[in-house]
Amino acid sequence: MKKYEDRGIVLDFLPQGRSDDPRPIHLREPIAQIMGDTFFTLLEVVPREGVTFAPLESVFIGKEKRDKVDRIRHRIGYEELTANAKIELENAVEKIVLNKEKWFINFFNTAQPITPRMHALELIPGIGKKYMWDILDGREKKPFSSFEEMQSRVNLPSPSRLIAKRIIEELSGESKYRLFTRAS
Length of the chain equals 184
Report the C-alpha gap between 52 and 28 in whole angstroms.
15
Q: Render pLDDT for 120-146 as a digit per residue (tens, 0 to 9).
A: 999 999 999 999 999 999 999 999 999
End-to-end CA distance of the chain: 18
Which residues touch 171 (CB under 8 Å, ≥6 apart)?
40, 42, 78, 89, 181
Identify residue 85 by its one-letter amino acid code: A
3-state secondary structure of 64: coil
Q: What is the pLDDT of residues 47-105, one digit of tens each?
A: 999 999 999 999 999 988 899 999 999 999 999 999 999 999 999 999 999 999 999 99
pLDDT digit string (tens) for 4-42? Answer: 899 999 999 999 988 888 888 878 899 999 999 999 999
Collapsing DSSP states into helix, strand and coil, what is residue 56? coil
| pTM (2 d.p.) | 0.90
What the chain holds in terms of domains, given with CATH numbers, is 7-82 (2.40.50.140), 100-171 (1.10.150.280)
In this model, does residue 3 exceed pLDDT 90? no
